[in-house]
Amino acid sequence: INECRNYPGRLCAHKCENILGSYKCSCTTGFKLADDGRNCDDLNECESNPCSQECANVYGSYQCYCRRGYQLSDVDGITCEDIDECALPTGGHICSYRCHNTPGSFHCTCPATGYALAPNGRSCQ
């Protein structure tokens, strides 16, 4: 008897495998078999720290996020890379004189003589 074929969708929450004299339940990626052997519980993928900065567990999967000043890599979607604010299209306007990229941020400088950085941290006076 193939229980999986005779009772489709009633024996197992996700996947049913016919075995000799019985059946076995399993779960799709992102889930683990519950103690009852039939249902599937969401797996918290964030427990294994797959992301380089922030991780949010979502039903059946996870999503990586980056802190301010960083962005997710287009290559792997889990690594956070520094955003070079000085190289952005508006980068030339961030600082009135010179912009220096730093990890997760940037800072402005003024000419060595005759100028000082204004309280706003971007203009020279």
Q: List, as one string, the DSSP characters of 21-50.
A: TEEEEE--TTEEE-TTSSSEEE--GGGG--
Residue 11 banded pLDDT, cuts 50, 70, 90: very high
Asked if 53 contacts 43 with a C-beta cutoff of 8 angstroms, the reply is no
Q: Determine the 3-state secondary structure of 106 from DSSP.
A: strand
pLDDT at residue 92 tops 70:
no
Please report how many Cα atoms fall inside a 13 Å half-sphere around the Cα of residue 55, on the Cβ side: 14
Write down the pLDDT at residue 1: 84
Complete domains list, the chain, with CATH: 3-42 (2.10.25.10), 45-82 (2.10.25.10), 84-125 (2.10.25.10)
Single pTM value for the model: 0.69
Residue 91 banded pLDDT, cuts 50, 70, 90: low
Give me the chain's average pLDDT, please.
94
